[in-house]
Amino acid sequence: MKVLEEIASEEKTDRSAAARKILDMGIRQWKVDRAVQLVLSGKVSVWKASELAGVSLREMLDILNERRITWVKITPEEFERELEQLRKANA
């Protein structure tokens, strides 16, 4: 509990408030980590992951980029098909 007292002192609050703040931070981090794992496993989209983590889509994209996680999964063949469709649409 000495660490908690040090944190409370640093934050200029009581131990209970410091404990709640640390718990909130830990829960947020757990939710983000869980959402990232779900994206990696292909179980959810980045959009859904952002909702599960309680962050904006932009924040989730930043988190994935910071962790060097490629979230776009497209084969070269799919890319070529998409590119060809765009060319046809703009012709």
Contact between 57 and 50 under an 8 Å Cβ cutoff? The reply is yes
How confident is the model over 17-34, as pLDDT tens digits?
A: 989 999 999 999 999 999
How confident is the model over 30-52, as pLDDT tens digits?
A: 999 999 999 999 999 999 999 99
Q: What's the pLDDT at 38? A: 96
Which residue shows structure tokens 């924040």? 59
Residue 3 above 80 pLDDT?
yes
pTM (2 d.p.)? 0.73
55 contact partners, CB below 8 Å, separation of at least 6: 32, 63
Q: Mean of the per-residue pLDDT values for the chain?
A: 92
Residue 61 above 80 pLDDT?
yes
